[in-house]
Amino acid sequence: MSRLRVLFRTTAVRLSALYLLLFSLCAAFLVFYVTAMSQRLLEQQTKDAVTAEVAQVEEIYARAGVNGLLRTLERRARQPGANLYVIAGPTGEILAGNVASLQPGLLDKEGWTGEAFRYQRYTDESRKETHVALAHVLVLDNGLRILVGRDLQEPEKFRVLVRQALVVALGIMGIGALIIWFAIGRNALKRIDRMSDASTRIMAGDLSQRLPMSGSGDEFDRLSESLNAMLGRIEKLNEGLRQVSDNIAHDLKTPLTRLRNKAEAALAHKATNSGYRASLEEIIGESDQLIRTFNALLMISRVEAGAAAAEMSDVNLSQSVADCVELYEPVADEQALKLEADVPADIHVSGNRELIGQALGNLIDNAIKYSDGGANPLIKVSLARRDGAIVLSVADHGPGVPADRRDDVVERFVRLDESRSKPGTGLGLSLVEAVMEMHQGSLELSDTVPDAENNRGLTASMVFPARSG
């Protein structure tokens, strides 16, 4: 029964109930109006016929006198389906005509009888049926009273018929509405139930579940569609989170194990004070590296979550690039590399100076780390406009990254085998990508010298979208 109550609470059922009520009121009004109008019309017709008859009666009386009138009325009264004719004396006793009895006092007043009255006919005496009629009373100058009337059976029948039709129509309408209510409401309920079933499964942890779609493109489908899009986003974020925790488990356990081993080794050996000191320093170095990795991970996830988006402002990119190049130039110099900048003045973007600086720092740092062994010691940092977008790229002439590995190196903790020996967290490019995503831009990787045999070099480009304001 509670299910029925739920059904009645659905919007579809409530709306259709309201419509049904309004429609019934209108229909009832319409039917009553139509019957009233047609009844009046029929009554008018009856009155017109009676008036014409009265005029004839007066004319016959004037022409043929009482006897002529009586003869004519006698003849007319005997015709089948005739009008009502009563000839009565001055006191009201019925002398002739086709009426057996009348309501008393009806003949006292000349003119229309006003309301419809009841009477009994001669012709169907056997049945003693009571009829309703409308009549006109005429008082002749000799005191005789003549009543000319017309039966109202037809209009009455019509009225009853229309009433019946109305009741039947309303009944059918009500039943139909109930059926429609039930169908619509139940359909809506069913779909809602299916949706909540799906969400229950999703809540239970199966994020790959989607809300059902009927394919009709109606409001339910549109709702499902946007909820599904939301679920997709959540699933992707969740997947990213899971990947990060997997990576953390894997890539942080290694240095933690190393840390522990070093501490154990220091304890196991009967070392001198200075030996302990060296071990402790190594351990601090190792934990600093761990902290660095942690910080980088945290930073990436915060940037990805858009936490830093609040601190966006106008950044003089030209200035930032110049600062960064100036910061790293001595390091490059020390490794016999040449860090060169090609930076036009006054290029601005809307962003976070700190994060852009760090991202560019990561790219330059990578370029310095991986430039060795290349034929060309040049690392070029350039800033340029390309189709409205602003491209900041760092090009080195090191071994480069094969085209099929480029998506991989951006992933967290992924390092190509050749670079495992180099210091680093494997998070540098991930951070750059996260920073660029936060700026609605992208990180593009390409060859510096595409047609070279080897040492094609890597060009990493931070692409900022054209400014929208």
Out of 113, 224, 247, 358, name the contact with another protein by CB under 8 A: 358
Gap between the Cα atoms of 286 and 27, Å rounded: 88
SS3 for 225? helix
Total of residues contacting another protein (CB under 8 A): 34
Q: Strands 338-342, 378-386: parallel, antiparallel or unpaired by DSSP?
A: parallel
In angstroms, give the least distance from the CB of 258 to another protein: 18
Q: Is 327 in the site for another protein (CB under 8 A)?
A: yes
* Rounded Cα distance, 333 and 469, in Å: 40
User: What gap in Å lies between CA 281 and CA 145, rounded to an integer?
Assistant: 141
Does 273 sit near another protein (CB under 8 A)?
no
The residue within the footprint of another protein, chosen from 81, 105, 111, 330 (CB under 8 A), is: 330
Please tell me whether residue 368 binds another protein under the rule CB under 8 A: yes
| Binding range to another protein, per CB under 8 A, among 135-143, 222-230, 241-249, 364-372 | 364-372
Nearer to another protein, 86 or 381 (CB): 381
CB of residue 436 to another protein, shortest distance in Å? 15
What is the closest distance, in whole angstroms, from the C-beta atom of residue 200 to another protein in the complex?
A: 35
Which pairs count as long-range contacts for 446-455, CB under 8 Å and 24+ apart, including other chains? Answer: 447/400, 447/403, 448/395, 448/396, 448/397, 448/400, 449/397, 454/399, 455/373, 455/374, 455/375, 455/376, 455/397, 455/398, 455/399, 455/400
Widest CA span in the chain: 163
Among 398, 424, 426, 441, binds another protein (CB under 8 A): 424
Taking CB under 8 A as the rule, does residue 355 contact another protein?
Answer: yes
Q: Binding to another protein by residue 334, rule CB under 8 A?
A: yes
Which of 352, 371, 430, 459 is in the footprint of another protein by CB under 8 A?
Answer: 352
User: Judged by CB under 8 A, which of 249, 268, 310, 345 binds another protein?
Assistant: 310
Q: Which is nearer to another protein, 122 or 294 (CB)?
A: 294
Nearest to 146 by CA among 98, 89, 103: 89
Query: What is the rounded distance in angstroms from the CA atom of residue 107 to the CA atom of residue 143?
Result: 12
221 lies in the binding site for another protein (CB under 8 A): no
Write down the residue that tokens 């040449």 correspond to: 338
Contact call for residue 315 and another protein (CB under 8 A):
no
Q: Which of 118, 128, 292, 467 binds another protein (CB under 8 A)?
A: 292
Of 223-231, 248-256, 264-272, 295-303, the window that binds another protein (rule: CB under 8 A) is 295-303
Look-up of token digits 């006198």: 65
Identify which of residues 365 and 372 has a Cβ nearer to another protein in the complex. Answer: 365
**Using CA atoms, how far apart are residues 185 and 391, in angstroms rounded to an integer?**
57
Owner of token pair 């005496």: 125
Answer yes or no: are the C-beta atoms of 153 and 132 closer than 8 Å.
Answer: yes
Of 116, 139, 144, 117, whose CA–CA distance to 54 is shortest? 139
426 binds another protein (CB under 8 A): no
Least separation in angstroms between CB 235 and another protein: 25
CB-based contacts of 363: which residues, under 8 Å, 6+ apart?
Answer: 394, 428, 432, 460, 462
Per CB under 8 A, the segment of 95-103, 190-198, 245-253, 287-295 that binds another protein is: 287-295
Candidates 323, 372, 437, 447: give the one binding another protein (CB under 8 A).
323
Helix (H) / strand (E) element for 32: namely helix 11-78
Give the shortest CB-245-to-another protein separation in angstroms: 17
303 contributes a contact to another protein by CB under 8 A = yes
Sort strands 348-351 and 378-386 into parallel, antiparallel or unpaired: unpaired
| d(C-alpha 107, C-alpha 146), whole Å | 8
Cβ distance to another protein smaller for residue 156 or 323: 323
Work out whether 255 is an interface residue with another protein (CB under 8 A): no
Could you tell me which stretch among 10-18, 70-78, 218-226, 331-339 binds another protein (CB under 8 A)? 331-339
Among 110, 124, 311, 408, binds another protein (CB under 8 A): 311
Would you state the structure tokens that stand for residue 259, as one six-digit string? Answer: 């840390």
Number of residues written out for the chain: 469
**β-pairing verdict for 94-97 and 389-395:** unpaired
Stretch touching another protein by CB under 8 A, among 42-50, 261-269, 352-360, 410-418:
352-360
For residue 428, the minimal CB distance to another protein (Å) is 8
**What letter does residue 207 receive in the DSSP assignment?**
T
Here the tokens at position 171 are 């009944």
Work out the number of other CB atoms within 10 angstroms of the CB of residue 341: 17
User: Applying CB under 8 A, does 331 fall inside the site for another protein?
Assistant: yes
Point out which residues bind another protein (CB under 8 A): 281, 284, 288, 291-292, 295, 298-299, 302-303, 307-308, 310-311, 323, 326-328, 330-331, 333-334, 352, 354-355, 357-358, 361-362, 365, 368-369, 423-424
